Structure 1
Amino acid sequence: MRGETSLTSERAAREKFAPKLKAKGLDAGRIADELFGFTQILDTNIKLERALTDTSRPAADKTRLVTDIVSNAVDPLTVEILSDLAARRWSRIAHIANATEDLAIDAQLYQADAMGCTGQVAVELAKIHSALLNLSVLRSELSDPQSDPERRVTLLDHLFDKDQLNPVTLKLAEQATRDLRNRRYLYTIQWLIDKISEHCGETVVTVTSAVELSSEQIKRIIEIYSKKLNRPVHVNSVVDASVLGGIRVQYGAEVIDNTVVAKLKNLQRSVA
């Protein structure tokens, strides 16, 4: 968890740069690449993290340090974002890397907005999640911090037809295994889906079923839960062959389980 200081700093930075990233349009993808790259630098250099989060160090000094590191190799907006993050206060030194990654994702989604494919990216990430749900060996390989990152990316590329995925989907899916950041691969994919819904001002409603939902079923679920929650919703359809009958619906901490297994468990409890 992030402390209140870090949450406040990150929120302020994301709100500040949202209009600038949106204005970048298609070029926001370059900002995303550069911020993802700097996240990896921070994750592997604790001395740099300490230097950029040292509250006793003047902000101007930290800004110079950022400039010295990235030089003229990145977009001026990337330098501005990194300098801004370095000037803020953080509860823990590692939180600056988390904020850098979050801004990278923001930039990537603004590029997707400009391409008109944000919804498609969310759907395709959900399909990747469903495809890997019951493939434990492959999931483990994609989440193995001891293996070479590019080997994990190559494995992912062999699993899915790159030509059938939106370029933004592919980029986010590859980044999720290239830089694990102490997370399991499927956790990161679900987290990215949640980030897209947040970006679009929607609530994620995850529906787990044994077979893929039809477009009419998804439409109906959107209608029901948009009315129930009084806000737009995005349906994250998860296909899990182990589910027996019915569906399981989750939004936030609320879970509505209408599967056969859940009903049997409820029955057993009632007669115990």
Structure 2
Amino acid sequence: MNGASRDALGAARERLDALTDVQSVDVAKLAEDLAAVTGLLDREGTLRRALTDPAKSGEAKASLARQLLGGQIGGESLDLLTGMVRSRWSRSRDLVDSVEELASSADLATAQRAGRLDDVEDELFRFGRIVSGSTELRSALTDRVVGGPAKAALLHTLLGGRADPVTERLVVRLVTTPRGRSLESGIESLSKLAAARRDRMVAEVVSATPLSDQQKQRLGAALARIYGRQVHLNLDVDPTVLGGVRVQVGDEVINGAISDRLDEAARRMAG
């Protein structure tokens, strides 16, 4: 993917990250909606071309998307999609590929919220190794004569109760709708998405008053020392915090005064 499509995908990734950072957003539903839209756009070439037509204005394409999908998918999903069709795309297929990537990323964000992302990444790797080591299994999962429901049933038998539900959903979608990819390349792409998501940490920060730039930098540096990587800060203000700050990274919560107790917590957790 290059040119306009690369820029459009980059902007869509940022919008997806902003959505998945909000705890009130149902990320699993977002993933389900985006997967359904991927299937629709993959089947309907006329619609795909209409939503990426460079001769049409961005608002006209967004209006078409709202007309067709309003009430069919959630509000966050629709907002994300209308933002995507407002962008310019080098090829209509690039839009479908990008919606599919965002669907997978949203599913991985679901696993991350549950503290299971490392498990999903490991399961994807192990599934890939199992497939590459079994000619019989690979043939069963890639046979064009065998329908998607039969392949899905086989995967549910293999993975159900043994793998994380996110892993199962990702693998079933890949196998039943390969969209021209080999099974190996599809698993590799999913593994790369999981690795990229794993390297991204988000801290929910609630303070009594807005933090100054210096306080944001100090907080970011302290969290980076604790977790060994850069941490994105989602900031909110709540007067009931009474002069302190509440920081949550995953299931871990740090409470303390901005001026001194944050550094104390950082030293204690680092040690």
TM over 0.5: yes
For 1:7, what is the secondary structure of its paired residue? helix
Residue pair 1:66, 1:83 contacting (<8 A) in 2 also: yes
| Letter in structure 2 aligned against 1:183 | R
Distance 2:25 2:76 in 1: 14
TM-score in terms of structure 2 length: 0.70
Residue pair 2:112, 2:198 contacting (<8 A) in 1 also: no
Residue among 182, 185, 208 paired with 1:184: 182
Note the residue ranges of structure 1 that are not aligned, 5 or more in a row: 203-229, 233-272
Distance 2:168 2:125 in 1: 12
Matched residue, 2:49: 50
Question: 1:125 aligned to 2:135?
Answer: no
Distance 1:132 1:40, change over 3 A: same
Distance 1:44 1:128, change over 3 A: same
Residue pair 1:59, 1:87 contacting (<8 A) in 2 also: yes
Residue pair 1:22, 1:28 contacting (<8 A) in 2 also: no
The count of aligned residue pairs is 203
Residue pair 1:145, 1:180 contacting (<8 A) in 2 also: no
Distance 1:127 1:79, change over 3 A: same
Matched residue, 2:133: 134
Distance 1:79 1:161 in 2: 31
1:164-186 CA distances to partner (integer Å, 9 max, x unpaired)?
A: 11111111111111211111222
For 2:27, what is the secondary structure of its paired residue? helix
Residue pair 1:5, 1:91 contacting (<8 A) in 2 also: yes
TM-score in terms of structure 1 length: 0.70
For 1:42, what is the secondary structure of its paired residue? helix
CA-CA distance at 1:21 after TM superposition:
2.0
Distance 2:156 2:121 in 1: 18
Note the residue ranges of structure 2 that are not aligned, 5 or more in a row: 201-227, 231-271
1:137-182 CA distances to partner (integer Å, 9 max, x unpaired)?
A: 3213312344311111112223x24111111111111111121111
Residue pair 2:124, 2:167 contacting (<8 A) in 1 also: yes
Distance 1:132 1:67 in 2: 40
Identity across matched positions, percent:
25
User: What CA RMSD, in Å, does the superposition of the two structures yield over aligned residues?
Assistant: 2.0
For 1:195, what is the secondary structure of its paired residue? helix
Residue pair 1:120, 1:166 contacting (<8 A) in 2 also: yes
| Letter in structure 1 aligned against 2:181 | R
Runs (4 or more) in structure 1 with deviation over 4 Å come to none
CA-CA distance at 1:68 after TM superposition:
1.9
For 1:23, what is the secondary structure of its paired residue? coil
For 1:147, what is the secondary structure of its paired residue? coil
For 2:19, what is the secondary structure of its paired residue? helix
| Letter in structure 2 aligned against 1:19 | A
For 2:161, what is the secondary structure of its paired residue? helix
Matched residue, 1:66: 65
Distance 1:7 1:155, change over 3 A: same
Matched residue, 1:162: 160
Matched residue, 2:142: 143
Distance 1:24 1:152 in 2: 34
1:206-264 CA distances to partner (integer Å, 9 max, x unpaired)?
A: xxxxxxxxxxxxxxxxxxxxxxxx989xxxxxxxxxxxxxxxxxxxxxxxxxxxxxxxx
Distance 2:24 2:168 in 1: 19
Residue pair 1:49, 1:93 contacting (<8 A) in 2 also: yes
Matched residue, 1:19: 18
Matched residue, 1:90: 89
Distance 1:146 1:180 in 2: 14
